[in-house]
Amino acid sequence: MSSFLKDVESQFDNVVASLDLPEGLAEKIRVCNATYVTRFGVRLRGKIHTFTGWRAVHSTHQNPAKGGIRYSSIADQDEVEALAALMTYKCAMLGLPFGGSKGALKIDPSKWEENELEKITRRFAQELIRHGFLSSGMNVPAPDMGTNEQTMMWIADEYRRLKPDDINGMACVTGKPLGGNGIEGRTEATGRGVQFAIQAFFETPSDASKAGFSGGDLHGRSVVIQGLGNVGYHAAKFLSKEDGCLITAVIERDGVVRNTAGLDIEALKTHVAATGGVHGFEGGSYDPEGARALEDNCDILIPAAMERVIHCGNAGAINARLVVEAANGPTTYEADQKLRERGVVIIPDIYANAGGVAVSYFEWVKNLTHIPFGLMERRYDEKGHRTLARSLEMMTGQAFPKEAEAAFFQGRREIDLVRSGLDDMMRSTYAELSRRWNDPDDPARDLRSAAYTLSINRIAEAYKAIGI
């Protein structure tokens, strides 16, 4: 029977068959190194509740192993190992110095109060720390489905309590709040990366034309998004506000809300936060059959909720020309083949949602260097720019334009540097994937194969370098 893990392994096998790797290395890269399972009790509401959690370490060809922790009532070991493998490939594809890991706790966070979630999270963190699955040099989690910056802060604080002498303790987890040694732009990072990925695709006319688009402008493109959580909300917000896309449908757990003129994403987010779903939102028409809206007619479909939502049962009915996998593993292996046969282009998860781990990398580096980005250069740059402006004024006899002053004189802030670094990583990686997809001698079958090939070759190089 197919499963999320089998899907990821099939993608891997498919690509590896055409690579020239030393005997046995493919198997070494493919398998998950270790999975830690913990069952722990927490006294809540007058009795002891037992929780099950996992932390899978897929690869430590680079240390630390990096990957989020999700809270979900349907989490299991297969899912965690599949997600850990995706993290290995994602980090290697971006060229980050990380192995791949992932964790999960089998819990429905909406069923627990904030103070109860704190107790449960701290207890889970203790288990991870005690067994060597949490530290800045070995294993560094981040937020994922059902967790957020608050969850990460509890984990970091628990680490600090148990290891007060570790000067790099705060780098044991990323996605922390700003006041807790986080970094500007981490919360928006995955959605921002999705936006950069779509921009890069449309700015490459040869690729856009493969999906039947004339390329260029995103203005007026219709977009359907599944999941208005961290990733889906930020992607929807940036695409509608900054690129002029029309978000024509948002699918949530309780159904879908549609508006062909484009939904007001801020108003919808406020409604979802207040009511827990899209039902009752006045800015669109509601339908309880949420999953059916994946088949809506649109330019871009962005599954941003969970895995395996595009499968054999609906792949033939998908009407989008471009699927952007903001979630991890939203398309099954068979559905991927079906979509490809129908000419639908997929921007694969390991690239599309890589913005989160890219900015997590910046946060980890910031924590390890113990200095905010831009601190040493900011005033120096500002002074240099003022001198340059004065020199221009003296040389030309004209005043420096007032409207350009703010942008020219202001030194680089942390958010500017983070967005610039993320933009660069997403665009330069896309250029490499596109180059492989369009290689006249040996074209990759699609963007996913290009991404896996780039990543597996880099991991193989790391193993070869240490003589394995």
Instruction: Confirm or reject binding of residue 293 to ligand NAD (CB under 6 A).
Output: no
Catalytic, out of 66, 102, 210, 366: 102
Backbone angles phi, psi at 246, to 5 degrees: -105, 115
- Binding of residue 146 to ligand NAD (CB under 6 A): yes
CB closer to ligand NAD, 213 vs 252: 252
DSSP 290: G
In the complex, what is the shortest distance from the CB of residue 325 to ligand NAD, in angstroms, rounded to a whole number? 9
Closer residue to ligand NAD in complex, CB, 226/434: 226
User: CA-CA-CA-CA torsion for 255, 82, 20, 333, nearest 10 degrees?
Assistant: -30
143 is an interface residue for ligand NAD by CB under 6 A:
yes
**β-strand pairing of 47-59 with 99-106:** antiparallel
> Does residue number 141 form part of the binding site for ligand NAD (CB under 6 A)?
no
Identified binder of ligand NAD from the candidate list 127, 149, 157, 252, rule CB under 6 A:
252
Segment lying near ligand NAD (by CB under 6 A), choices 17-25, 139-147, 293-301, 420-428: 139-147
Q: 102 an active-site residue? A: yes
Q: How many residues does the chain have?
A: 468
Q: How far is the CB of 270 from ligand NAD (least distance, A)?
A: 13
DSSP 96: -
Residues numbered 166 to 195 that lie near ligand NAD (CB under 6 A) are: 190
Helix (H, G, I), strand (E, B) or coil at 463: helix
Report how far residue 119's alpha carbon sits from residue 110's, in angstroms, rounded to the nearest whole number.
15
What is the C-alpha to C-alpha distance for residues 91 and 358, in angstroms, rounded to an integer? Answer: 8
The first and second tokens of residue 461, run together, are 């190089």
Q: Which residues pair with 143 in a beta bridge?
A: 69
Closest to ligand NAD by CB, 64 vs 193, is: 193
In DSSP terms, which residues pair with 42 in a beta bridge? 49
Per-residue binding string, ligand NAD, 220-249, x by CB under 6 A, is ------xxxxxxx-----------------
- Binding ligand NAD (rule: CB under 6 A), the pick from 6, 49, 122, 253 is 253
Q: Which residues of 403-429 are buried (b: 16+ CB within 10 A; e: fewer)?
A: eeeeeeeebeebeebbbebbbebbeeb
Q: Give alpha helix (H) positions in 43-148.
A: 77-94, 114-130
Q: Given the complex with ligand NAD, which of 326 and 433 has the nearer CB atom? A: 326
Q: Is 356 in the site for ligand NAD (CB under 6 A)?
A: yes
Contact of 293 with 284, CB cutoff 8 Å: no
Q: Work out the number of other CB atoms within 10 angstroms of the CB of residue 449.
A: 19
> Applying CB under 6 A, which of residues 79, 127, 144, 423 lies at the interface with ligand NAD?
144
Which positions ≥6 away from 144 have C-beta within 8 Å?
68, 69, 70, 83, 102
Rounded least distance, CB 402 to ligand NAD, Å: 40
- Which residue lies nearer to ligand NAD by CB, 169 or 355? 355
Angle formed at CA 36 by CA 355 and CA 460, multiple of 5 degrees: 55
Footprint of ligand NAD on 308-347 (CB under 6 A): 326-328
Interface residue with ligand NAD, options 125, 305, 318, 320 (CB under 6 A): 305
Nearer to ligand NAD, 15 or 231 (CB): 231
Nearest-angstrom CA–CA distance, 345 and 220: 19
- Residue closer to ligand NAD (CB basis): 253 or 386: 253
Kindly list the catalytic residues.
102
Residues that bind ligand NAD (CB under 6 A): 143-146, 190, 226-232, 251-253, 290, 304-306, 326-328, 353, 356
